[in-house]
Structures are given as C-alpha cells and as structure tokens.
Amino acid sequence: MRSRTISSRFGQYAFFAAASTLLSCAVQAQTLGANLAITGPSAGADGSGFSDTKLVRDGNVATATQASGTSNQRVSVKWGSAVTFNTVILREAGTKVTSWSLVDNETGAVWATGTGIGAQRVVNLGTRSSKKINLIVNATSAPAMAEFEVYNATGAASSTPASSVAPSSTPASSTPSSQIIVYQAESGSLSQAAVESNHSGFTGTGFVNFDNLVGSSAQWTVNQASAGNATVTFRYANGTTSNRAMAISVNGTVINSALAFNGTGAWANWSTQAVTAYLNAGNNVIRAVSTATDGGPNLDQLSVSGGQVVASSSVPASSVAPSSVPASSVAPSSVPASSVAPSSTPASSAVANTSSSVSSYNGAIRPAKMEGFAAHAGVTGGAGGAVVTVSTGTQLNAALCGRATMSTPITIMVNGTISHSNTTSQGCNTQADVIEIKQMSNISIIGVGTNALFEEMGIHVRDASNIVLQNLHIRNVKKSGSPTSNGGDAIGMETNVDRVWIDHNWLEASGGEQDGYDSLLDMKAGVTNVTASYNLFNDSSRAGLIGSSDSDNKNNNITFHHNWYKNIEQRTPLIRHALVHMYNNYWSNTTQDYMFHAINSRMNAKALVESNYFYNVNNPLIASDDSSTPGCWETNNDNTVLPSIYYSRTVGNGALVIPEVVNGQLQSTCSVSVPYTVQMDAANDVPAIVMANVGVGKVSGTTTLPGSSAAASSTPASSVASSVPASSRSSVASSIAPSSSSVASSTSSSSSSSVVIVDDGTISAACIQLATNPSVNWRDTSLQSDQEIVSCLSKTLGKPVGYGENAKGGFDPNGNSKLTIITKNGSVSVEQQLLNALTDNAHNWIVFDKIQFAQPSEIGMYRTFCNNTTVQSLLGASEAECINYRQWCSNKGFSGEATCRNEFFNKAMNKSSIPIRIPAIGSNKTLDGRMTEAYFVFSGFAIGKDSDGVPTQTSESVILTHLKFQGAGHTEDHYVDPDMIRSTGASHDIWIHKNTFDTTGDSAFDVKIGANAITMSFNRLINVKRAVLHGSSDSRTINANITTTMHHNSFVTTDDSYMLLGNTLRRVPLLRRGKTHMFNNAFVNYRNQVLSLRVGGSAALEDNLFMVNTSLQEKSTTAASLAEISTNLFKDISDGNLRNDRNFLWFGSSNCNLDSSTKTTLTATNGSVANLAASYSAASQATINNWRFAAGQDLVDYLSATTGKYGQIPFNSPLAGDRYYVLGLGKVSCQ
C-alpha cells in the first residue's frame, strides 16, 4: 500500500481544434464608446504592489504604473457609484505578465482569467456592474501596466484573436454554455494516490490510482463564469467486481456521500459516472474521497459541462465541442438515474402545484425576511409602534401591559437574561413563571445581538394575533422538576392564535420528557398563519407538534423553512389535520438511528415537502400508526437524504404510509399547494445556508415585513420615545450599558430617549468576504473604518472558552479599535512595523497585507537588533548579513537550510553576552495572520515582562492567532531564550489560537511569573521538544496564580522524528503550583512524561487522545508496549495533583486511523483536583459541553482538520460548520 502525498501544480491548458475555431476570429466591429476608467463617476485607481496607479487611466500608453513584486500584484479602477460595462482592454508595458485575473472587488467573483497580456488584451465580459474592478497579475519580473480601460461597448464583440496564448485569454463569459471542459485526473492534488500508466485506454499522461484505504483522495479546481448547475462526469476503470464508491464534495459540501464506481470488467475498460453539482461563479474545488477499504477506482479524467465553464490558467483543461466527444462520455443515457444529484431537478419544474423557484447562495449572512404563510397573512408585529428595551422579565411584562390598549403596536428589545428570579406579574394576564402573551396583539419581541437569553422561562401565546418573536435564545424550560414554566415548552401557542412569525431563535433543552422537558415549539387548538424560519432547534427529544390530539383540527397554514433540527429525536414536526409547507430545512443527528421520526404527517394532515436536507435521519417522512388515519404529502424530487434512506418503521410495523423511493427521492402521496410564491434554495446548498444563518446574532439591519412602512430590527439605531407611562408598575430599561447595541427607553418621560449606536454582533456579507477571501484586501470592502473592520475580524474569529474567555485583543467595543496593516517593500521593515504596533497599550488589531504576503514571507524579530554593533561583532556579520542570515551562511560556506539555521541561530547567536531578546507585547493587542503566508523564524514574542521572578510589565487582553512559528531546532538553555510565545509578568486574559509551531528552539507557549487566565486552542505543534512550561522555578510562589485552559490542540511527533525525540518531547505542561484544564487534545507519538507536576500543581485531563504509530511499537507484544507507554506518560506526577477522566491510548496508522482493539484506559491519578470548569462563565461551559468529543476517531479527525494556521474554521467562530460538516470534508493527515 502506498502512503504518499502528490501535489501537482496546474499547468497551462490547450484547446482542441474544434474549440479553437470558436476563438480564432479577430475582434469584430464594435463601438467602444467612452473609457469609463476616465469618464465614469468619480473615477479613480488604486492598487497593492503597483505605484502611481493613476497612470493606468490617463489615456497615455507611454506612461505606466510599475509593480514592486511579481506575485499577486493588484491594480484597480474604481468609481464613486456602480457603472455598467461589458468590455475591458488591458495594455501592458512589456511582456512580463504570465497570468492574470479580473475580479469583482465587491463580491470576490472571478470574471475572467488568462495568461499573458502584452500590448493589448481585449476581454469581453458580458454585461457587468460594479464600483471597482481588480486586476491581479503574476509575472516573471516586476511588470508595468500602461492602461486599464473599461467600456460599455455596443455592436458585435469577441475576444482577442487566437494565438499561442489566446485560449487562456478567453473571458469568462465567452465560453459557450454547450462547451465541455476536460480536466486530466492526474493534474489534480492527490493524497495517498499516485499517477500510473500500466493499463491502456487512458487519455492523458496517465491515470490516478488510489491507495487501498478509506480517505485516499484527489481534488481539482474548476472555474465557472457564472453560478449554476453543471454536470461533472468522471471517466474511470474498476477491474474488480466491488463498488469502489467515493464521496464527492464541491467547495467543502458533500453532494454525494457514496457515488458508485462499479466494476468495468477489466482495468483497461473505461466507463463514466456523473453527478450534477451546483457550481459558484469563479473557482470551485471538486474533491473525491474514497469511502471503501479498497480505495477508489482508477480515474482518467473529469469533464464539466453545463452552465458557463471557463478554463482557468491554473487548471490544465481541454475544451472540446460536444460533437468531438464520444456520446457515451457525456450523453444523459450514460448516466444512471440514481447517480444524478437531487439538485438537478429545479423545484419550480418538479411540482405543478407549487410556485417556487431555486436560487443560488453566495455565502453571505442573509437579512431577515418574512416568507410563507406569515407573510401571506400580513404579519407586522409591533411595527409602527414604540420601541423599548428591557433586561428583565418584570420589565418585559410591564412593557406589554403599559400600552394605551392591548392592541397598540410595540417592539420590545430584550437585552439581558430573562429568568424566574427577575420576573413578576405586571397585570394584563402576565405571569411570574412564564412570559404570557394573552388577549393581546401587534407585538414584536426581539433580542439584541446575542444577549436575549430566556433561562428556564418559556413564552406562551394565547388568544393573540400579529406577533413576532425574533432573535431569542430560550433554553431548558421544564414541566417537571424545578423551576417549571409553560408546561415544558420553549414556545407554546394555543387557542385562537393567528399571524405569527417565529424567526432566528435558538430553542434548546437538555433532554426529553424523562428529564422534565417537553417541546420546543408547540401549536394547538386553533393556531393559524405561522412561519417558523431560521431557528435552531437542538438537543431536545421533541421539536414540536401541530395539533395536540387526533381531534385537534383547528390548526392550519404553517410554514417551516431554513430551520436546523440538530440532535432532535422526533416531532420535527408532528402534524395533525393542518396544511404545512416544509422547505429548505436541515436535519442532522449523530447517528442514523437516533431519531424516531422527522416529518410525521398524521390524521389528514397535508405537507408540501420541498428541497430539504436530511442527514442521519430515521423515518424522514412518514405517516405513523399512532393515529388511525394517515396524512399525506407532496415532494418536489429535490430532498436530499444521506447517507441513505432509512426506515425503521414500515407499513404494518409502526407506519400507516411511507413514501416510495424512486432514484433516491421520496415520492408524493397526494397533491398539495400553497397560495404564495417563494424562492427556494437547492437542497444540496441547504446545510451551508442553514448553518451560517440560523439562531441568534444573525439578524442584521432592518427586518423586511410585508405591508408595513415600519420595520423591526434587532439593532435599532434611531431614537424612539417610549410610550410606557411613568405609572407603570416597573421601570423599563432605565439604563443600558454603552456596549449594548440598543435604544434605551425610560419610563420617566414619554418624550425622553437615548441613542447608543454601537456594534450589534451581526455579520454582514462584506465582513464574510473580508474574513474569508484572500483576494479581498483589508480596505477593499464597504467596511472602511478601523472600527468596522476590527469588529468584523473579532466577530468572525469568535470567542475563546475557558480561563482566557475574556480576551478581546485589539477590539474595543467602545469604538476605539485601530487596524494596523503590515506591508512589505516600504522604508520601515516588517519587524519594526510589528514592534511599533505591538508594544504600547492602545487597542490595535494587526494584520498582514493579503496581497503582499500571499507568498511565504519570513519574519525574524531578532533583526531589530541587527544594527547593534555588539550583535554584529558576536555574529561575525555585517548588518546586511545579520538581516539575511542565508547570505551569512553562503559567505561562510554553510549550505542547506537546516545547517544554515543551526550554524547561525544555535551556534553564532548562542552567546552569553548577546543583547538580543524577544519583544514584549503590550495590552489590548491582536496579531492575526489569517489568509496570509507570513511566518516567524527562530523566536517570537513575550506577553508582559519580568525580572528575577517579579512582574515588571503586566499585559492584558492579548490574542495571537493564525500565525506560523518556524524554529531552528532545539538547543538547551539558549542564551536568547527563543520562546515563540511567553506569557509572563502576571499578564492575563490571553488567547493563543490556531497557530502552527514547527521544531521550535524552546517552547511553543510558556507561562511564567503568575500569568493567568490563558486559553490555548486549536494549535498544531510539530516536533516541539518543550511545548509549554507552567512556572520556571519551584521557589516562585506567584506561579500559584497560573490558570490555563488547553483544548483541541494537536501535539504531533512525526514518525521520522520518533526515535530522536520520543523520550524528550515533554512538558505538556511542566506545571508548578498553578492549575491547568486540558480537554480534547490529541498527542501523536508521545511516549514519555507528557505531563510533569511540581510543588502542588493541579491538572485536570478530560477526553484527551494519545496515539502511537503501530510501526513504532518497541516491545515484543502490543500489550506490553501499551502498558509501558501508559506508565511512562504520567510517571512524573507525584509532586502534584492529577485528575484523569476518559483519557485513552491507542496504536494506529501514520494517518491516525486508530486500531480499536488497542484502546487502553489511562488511569494514573494523584491527589485531588476540583472541577476547574466551574469557574468558567455559563457561556463557556455551554460551548464546551456542546462541542465536547469523546476521545476517539472523530476527535483526532476533527483536530487534524481544524488545528493550526491552515486548518478549517473551528467551532469558536460563527462561520464554522458543525462537526459533521468538518468530518464530511474527508480525512486530513494528522502528520
């Protein structure tokens, strides 16, 4: 079996003759009109890497803007308002450009790509509109651009005439929709696979042969001119009789978890298998991962047809007209019906009785918009009335009761925790143990940011109409036990309730009926015209019912869309009698048999079920025999059910009716229609859309309400006088903290109000672009102020949990955040810029220019000492040789990177009198390396300072994230003390997150001299000999203050370093006096004294995983080896306290596939350790509990995928997918 990784960089592509003909004509007659780069509204230019950019729009080809580099150099033209255009003409001064792309600055969409520009390159884009176009170029040496012209031309148009480089100059819009682009499989990025040619019949230079194991993979980049469905066809051979299925994903979303590649009779017999995929405009990553122990088939090529395909200059592809392709390779008849993804059938065409259409998703957080029956009935809630802010249940009840009449409109903003302890009745049917909306109308209750928590307190709606409940977190409402509320329902509605919108809420319970809980959302005894949208229902046994008994037939017209049912056993929903529309909802469970049922249509109910996504669902659509009469349903043949359609109930055995399954789709049993039109998403897009948008903190700006001139908002930013009279029984929100993002109202005067316009916690589309798109630089979105950008970066990074939970870094919620962008090629060195930005105490969020740091860029903080003559003398180096140590090595005859670094850093620099020290970071700092390739060599930073065990500088609120630290190898007691991160001087509130540490000279992240309140999470340490010291001396009692949380980190010793380092990789941590809480970490190839405890230090280890490669077994038997390692890992704990809960050791493969037969419980303990997590906030504890993994295969796979600078986004961030999404992306090597 092979175990290798082959990464093939894509070369140029060539067109077949038939396609070349399409491009061989010259530019035809065309009237260009005015050059909008000069004449457009407030036209201008800017760039990154180019100087004097105005020269690209001066109309003079004799002048040019000069780039300073060769990689990802950007020059842009822009306008004060959007302009419409269709043609771009690029004119280069010279012929240095090798590849280029035109990118919409506002959306990040790649409009066209190509190779070479030269004197003129004409690109016909089709009709476009934008405020800014980016030209990104790569070149052999620093290029110069003479003109960047933009026209809205009339008349016939085509691209530049074909030449030796013409194909790659094809604009995205010029490729015919009937064209097929062929990608040779061997040109992709391969993992545990090889390119071979020992079987005949392949079309390129060879074919891809996957290793015989689960997880071998290949991926390709496909460039589309516009978004839409396309057919991806794989040409393959399988000389066995077994199905070598592969999981196919597009842009990280699995679209077919087991696409069949059945036997072809012989390895030289080639066949095709196809899948329909929704592709975005621009680059798309298609990935195939083997799901069988035999690996995948041999892959020859994949072809993409449909939509507007454009071959990127980074992808080797062949373009062929359909007539030149054998019919068997792409004809629909060659594609088994069962293999076509459900999204190939648009909802609008599948069911005659629905008026719905399929839309595409651009990744943005969507604004709240009412749809379905609530919109059809005209729900407006409290729009048009007073807006008041409350923070207690008593204040909320007072606001409900204080209106002129019980139908006077009101919007109540909730900015605090509503609990039994702060809720009393205020008359008008309000209660102390429930928020009662009874015999009232025209009310909106909306949470502020993520602050509105209803703790064990439900909301009951009865005899009420025109109600909006939005952006509320309601949890653990009980019907038995203590305290009780609302019959155990988070939201319960009954008896003459009409026109309700339940939107963007988080409803959860920590168990089922036996634990004291009932439902999350119940409707009974006459509830009509309701829409429930973008809600997160999780961890309850029951989501909700419509109709409490078979005789309850008064409920009707209910819409559920874009809700996430996460780990719910049943009633999602249970329907009796009512008409219900279910579209674009997402179900996910830990195992397929977890659920009793999903949609249960009983007792004459009618359900319209369209474009939903079911994952690990039992009985997804059913009429159970719990009622004497079944309900029915109509489906639209676009409901995705993965990994398989599973029914534990069958007709006569728990079910009256279950649907037929045709081509992987649940079939209809009746005809159902609704009286409105909605725009639906394709089922395959639903998980990404729902996970990104559901729950609290996602409502941004103004909410769209039908039939109303007013609007509700979770972020009111205007002054609204309260109408609650001063005589109300309780003051309503008499004051709001400055960081509250709300409008504060006071009952002291009906005309007085105050305005607080600050961040509301929501994430805009521009913010998502900024935080996820490496081609969109920090100042290139609509977010322009430092505060806006830093707020975005803070929100998308997420929040730490554990002891470091209060670290905010450079974000100041009071509006004083500063953004510092580190640049290259200026008069101030990168190291000095960092020193200037990091060493004071002002709020500063520091990032690296995305374009200038798009390629690996080494940073050495020691260089700030290179102008020191003592340093130069001790190194035997000039200032230039000190800065460029490779020049020093070359001049002294040292060759090879490792040798050079060792000679310079560990020998020449290791002198007792050398004055080099690592710089100390001040307070309120974030150093954020996201989407850039800057890395630090040899040493890093201190946080705070000390002298002889006494703090001399205490820093607070520091975040170091997405950084890479490359060491020069360990040298014991190096005089420079080259820690990568050292927290000292009683510094506190520190988050060290998602960094990569490789072969560091000293520690990865030491903690000394009383530093405390620190969280280290999702870091990846590779061959780090001394990972983390907690306290540098037994005698320093200040170290009793040390508190750290280390969670979800990967500590890796590579197989090839095991014998060299296996007995010396320790100190995770070496702990003196303080406390550490370690959970869900993975230790790969650690075998000796992973943990050391001194002078009463206390460590709580929970759910950690230890794995050693089976091939490295050192004893004659597995049992003896496991016993030896188990003993050695914890043999240095006698001087401290260790609690050891659910930590296990395995043998496994180099790819961290655990051998389940070797699972060994680690039992070493000493003394006693308290529950350290009890000191965390409730929010931290909830997040930890929600995301805690059992030590095992899923944990190590999740950490392999997420840890380090380059891992997937982890759960701290609101942009993260859930664990099933991450694990579904395919296995990532743990080494």
Q: Which phi and psi angles does 399 have, rounded to 5°?
A: -65, -40
Residues 421-457 have pLDDT tens digits of 999 999 999 999 999 999 999 999 999 988 999 999 9
Q: Which residue, chain included where needed, has tokens 């839309």?
A: 359
Nearest to 813 by CA among 832, 799, 803: 799
HEC readout, 314-342: CCCEEEECHHHCCHHHHCHHHCCHHHCCH
pLDDT band at 306 (very low <50, low <70, confident <90, very high): low
Last residue within a domain, chosen from 315, 340, 365: 340
Over range 529-544, report the average pLDDT.
Answer: 95
Both 157 and 188 in one domain: the answer is no
Q: How far, CA to CA in Å, does 1007 sit from each of 803, 1011, 1072?
A: 13, 6, 10
**Residue 1059: exposed, middle, or buried by beta-carbon count in 10 A (0-12, 13-18, 19+)?**
exposed
Rounded to a whole number of angstroms, the CA Rg of the chain reads 32
Q: Quote the domain boundaries for residue 96.
A: 25-161
838 and 924 in one domain? yes
Instruction: Tokens for 784, please give them.
Output: 């322009």
Tell me the pLDDT band of 865, cut-offs 50, 70 and 90. very high
At 274, which CATH number?
A: 2.60.120.260
Same domain for 152 and 103, yes or no, is yes
Higher pLDDT: 1036 or 342? It is 1036
Share of the chain above pLDDT 90, in %: 61
Does a cis peptide bond (omega within 30 degrees of 0) precede residue 978? Answer: no
The verdict on residue 732 lying in a domain is no
More confident residue, 434 or 289: 434
Q: Once rounded to an integer, what is the mean pLDDT over residues 544-555? A: 96
Residue 1228 burial (CB count, 10 A): 21
Same domain, 987 and 1115: yes
Residue 635 CA, distance from chain mean position: 31
- For residue 901, is it within any domain? no
> What integer is the mean pLDDT of 476-481?
94
The per-residue pLDDT for 337 is 24
Q: Assess if residue 196 is contained within a domain.
A: yes
482 band by pLDDT with thresholds 50, 70 and 90: very high
Q: Is the pLDDT of residue 738 over 80?
A: no
Residue among 279, 289, 153, 269 nearest 214 (CA): 289
Among residues 718, 794, 715, the alpha carbon closest in space to that of 760 is found at 715
Does 833 lie in the same domain as 979? yes
Query: For residue 903, what is the DSSP state?
Result: I
Instruction: Supply φ then ψ for residue 794, to 5 degrees.
Output: -65, -45
Q: Is residue 283 part of a domain?
A: yes
Residues in the chain: 1231
Contact by Cβ (8 Å): 247, 292? no
Average pLDDT over residues 496-500: 97
Split at pLDDT 50, 70, 90, the class of 719 is very low
- pLDDT bin (cut points 50, 70, 90) of residue 853 is very high
How many structural domains compose the chain?
Answer: 3
Name which of 23-27, 182-186, 914-918 the model is least confident about. Answer: 23-27
What's the pLDDT at 160? 35
What residue type is 888 in one-letter code?
W
Residue 164 has pLDDT above 60, yes or no: no
pLDDT class for 188, splitting at 50, 70, 90? confident
Residue type, 498: D
d(CA 26, CA 21): 11
Asked if residue 407 has pLDDT above 50, the reply is yes
Per-residue pLDDT, 704: 60
41/34 Cα distance (integer angstroms): 12
Do 288 and 257 belong to one domain?
A: yes
558 neighbors 532 (Cβ within 8 angstroms): yes
Q: Is the pLDDT of residue 328 over 80?
A: no
Does the pLDDT of residue 1047 top 80, yes or no?
A: yes
Does 123 share its domain with 221?
no
Share of the chain above pLDDT 70, in %: 85
Banded pLDDT at 826 (limits 50, 70, 90): confident
Task: Report the CATH number at residue 1086.
Answer: 2.160.20.10
Count of other CB atoms within 10 angstroms of residue 404: 11
pLDDT at 663 over 80: yes
pLDDT greater at residue 1039 or residue 294: 1039
Report how far residue 921's alpha carbon sits from residue 943's, in angstroms, rounded to the nearest whole number: 5
Task: Report how far residue 394's alpha carbon sits from residue 433's, in angstroms, rounded to the nearest whole number.
Answer: 11
Whether the Cβ atoms of residue 323 and residue 307 lie closer than 8 Å to each other: no
Residues 100/90, Cβ–Cβ less than 8 Å: yes
Query: Is residue 608 predicted with pLDDT exceeding 70?
Result: yes
Q: Is residue 221 part of a domain?
A: yes
929/821 Cα distance (integer angstroms): 11
What's residue 252's pLDDT? 67
Do both 139 and 263 map to the same domain?
A: no
Whether residue 326 contacts residue 353, with contact meaning beta carbons closer than 8 Å, is answered with no
Residue type at position 629: T
Of 309, 340, 371, the residue at which a domain comes to its end is 340
Per-residue pLDDT tens over the stretch 665-718? 999 999 999 999 999 999 988 988 998 899 998 885 445 665 433 333 333 222
For residue 215, name the pLDDT band (cuts at 50, 70, 90).
confident
Evaluate if residue 759 carries a pLDDT over 80: no
Average pLDDT, the chain: 83
Q: Is there a single domain that holds both residue 154 and residue 186? A: no
Same-domain pairing of 199 and 325: yes
Q: Among 312, 340, 368, where does a domain finish?
A: 340
Kind and range of the H or E run holding 1050: strand 1050-1052
What kind and span of H or E run contains 662? strand 661-662
Is the domain of 1020 the same as that of 1064? yes
145 and 206 part of one domain: no
Return d(Cα 283, Cα 227) in angstroms, integer. Answer: 10
- Indicate if the pLDDT at residue 627 is higher than 90: yes
689 assigned to some structural domain: no
Sequence-ordered list of residues with C-beta below 8 angstroms from that of 1202, at least 6 positions apart, any chain: 1018, 1048, 1208, 1209, 1210, 1222
Catalytic residue (choose from 74, 542, 571, 1139): 571
Residue 766 resides in a domain: no
Our CA dihedral for 1192, 1194, 1195, 1197, rounded to 10 degrees, sits at 120
Domain presence at residue 753: no
pLDDT digits (tens, 9 = 90+) for 1052-1107: 999 988 887 766 656 799 999 999 999 999 999 998 889 999 999 999 999 999 99
0.95 exceeded by the pTM? no
pLDDT above 90 for 343: no
> Alpha-carbon distance 683 to 583, whole Å?
9
Q: Give the per-residue pLDDT at 1062.
A: 61
68-82, 114-128, 564-578, 633-647: the lowest-pLDDT one: 114-128
User: In the annotation, is 235 catalytic?
Assistant: no
Cα 984 from chain centroid (whole Å): 32
Residue 331's pLDDT is what? 26
**Measured distance CA(158)–CA(125) in Å, rounded:** 10
Distance of CA 214 to the CA centre of its chain: 25
